[in-house]
């Protein structure tokens, strides 16, 4: 596979995002959810979300704040607020999570067991990554609600939209909700369509999904958490990338070989050159 050499601060962050993909898999998260996902100063960003996720323990190097914005990814299964669950955790950009092969994709594997006549369109997860990064703008600037955002996420996970050759094509189809979960009573359909079509218009012009968080000042990464052989809701929790302590391979021009340095060191103004496979989407 061809390689690309990238230099510069922004691309350092891009490397960290790539590293996030490599590091955040096969983790375990024990948590409970709270409904509704009201604002909480411990959350980053401090916005309303469909659920709040309160983490009690995890094998992942998550920030000290245990409360996260949380969104539902499937429109069929349930999760009970206040009850403790233990899920497997993956980066939203993990190649397995983006795969349409249910033999290697943990989301599709459990969903196929629980809902054999339905599917999840995991190819739309990069669109959802864009939406959770822009959620604060949607709520504070556009005046959209968390119900609008949740409905957009459910709709994307249930429709094979993809990117059109003609970027002027807008989605105007059916909007999806989960009738087994608390209703999204404040949703406004026109807001939901605006969110979906905004994501399509931006993400479909990018060369690489790793560029999505770089569009924003405080990049947010998604951690997909998947139930362990039980038919419960598949969830997405949101973490500010700069808060995550991960190891990134860094190549320094004065060092002849790759060395592992922490994310904080990679963030410093070093003359590092990052090399990784070209991204395809």
pLDDT of residue 275: 36
* Share above pLDDT 70 across residues of the chain, in percent, rounded to a whole number: 78
Collapsed DSSP state (helix, strand, coil) of residue 124: helix
pLDDT of residue 248: 59
Instruction: Name the pLDDT band for 271 (thresholds 50, 70, 90).
Output: very low
The stretch 28-32 carries a mean pLDDT of: 94
What is the overall mean pLDDT for the chain?
82
pLDDT of residue 208: 83
| In the predicted structure, residue 277 carries a pLDDT above the cut 80 | no
| In the predicted structure, residue 251 carries a pLDDT above the cut 80 | no
Tokens for 124? 């739309």
pLDDT of residue 23: 64
* Share above pLDDT 90 across residues of the chain, in percent, rounded to a whole number: 59
* Interatomic CA distance for residues 34 and 197, integer angstroms: 29
Peptide bond into 36 cis (omega under 30): yes
Question: Could you read off the pLDDT of 123-156 as tens digits, one per residue?
Answer: 999 999 999 999 999 999 999 999 999 999 999 9
Instruction: Name the pLDDT band for 268 (thresholds 50, 70, 90).
Output: very low
Q: Buried b vs exposed e over 143-157: b needs ≥16 C-beta within 10 Å?
A: ebbbbbbbbbbbbbb
| pTM for this predicted structure | 0.85
The stretch 227-250 carries a mean pLDDT of: 81
| In the predicted structure, residue 182 carries a pLDDT above the cut 70 | yes
Contacts of 104 (CB under 8 A, 6+ apart): 96
| In the predicted structure, residue 42 carries a pLDDT above the cut 50 | yes
Contacts of 248 (CB under 8 A, 6+ apart): 15, 16, 19, 260, 261, 262, 263, 266
pLDDT of residue 255: 36
Tokens for 179? 């009738």
Instruction: Name the pLDDT band for 40 (thresholds 50, 70, 90).
Output: very high
Question: Could you read off the pLDDT of 190-207 as tens digits, one per residue?
Answer: 999 999 999 999 998 888
Contacts of 80 (CB under 8 A, 6+ apart): none
| In the predicted structure, residue 59 carries a pLDDT above the cut 90 | no
| In the predicted structure, residue 265 carries a pLDDT above the cut 50 | no
Of 6-15, 67-76, 272-281, the poorest mean pLDDT is in: 272-281
| In the predicted structure, residue 225 carries a pLDDT above the cut 80 | yes
Tokens for 42? 């411990």
């Amino acid at each position: 596979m061809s390689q690309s050499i990238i230099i510069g601060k922004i691309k350092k962050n891009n490397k960290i995002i790539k590293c996030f993909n490599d590091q955040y898999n096969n983790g375990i998260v024990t948590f409970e959810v709270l409904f509704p996902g009201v604002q909480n100063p411990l959350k980053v960003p401090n916005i309303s979300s469909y659920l709040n996720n309160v983490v009690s323990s995890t094998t992942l190097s998550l920030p000290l704040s245990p409360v996260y914005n949380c969104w539902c990814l499937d429109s069929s299964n349930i999760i009970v607020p206040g009850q403790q669950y233990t899920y497997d955790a993956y980066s939203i950009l993990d190649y397995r999570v983006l795969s349409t092969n249910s033999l290697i994709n943990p989301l599709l594997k459990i969903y196929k067991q629980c809902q054999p006549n339905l599917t999840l369109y995991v190819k739309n997860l990069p669109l959802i990554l864009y939406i959770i990064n822009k959620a604060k703008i949607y709520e504070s600037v556009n005046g959209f609600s968390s119900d609008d955002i949740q409905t957009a996420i459910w709709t994307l996970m249930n429709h094979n939209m993809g990117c059109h050759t003609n970027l002027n094509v807008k989605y105007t189809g059916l909007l999806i909700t989960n009738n087994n979960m608390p209703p999204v009573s404040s949703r406004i359909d026109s807001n939901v369509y605006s969110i979906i079509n905004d994501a399509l218009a931006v993400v479909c012009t990018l060369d690489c999904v790793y560029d999505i968080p770089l569009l924003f000042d405080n990049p947010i990464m998604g951690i997909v958490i998947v139930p362990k052989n039980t038919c419960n809701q598949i969830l997405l929790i949101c973490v500010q990338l700069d808060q995550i302590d991960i190891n990134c391979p860094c190549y320094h021009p004065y060092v002849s070989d790759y060395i592992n340095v922490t994310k904080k060191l990679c963030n410093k103004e070093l003359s590092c050159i990052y090399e990784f496979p070209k991204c395809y989407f």
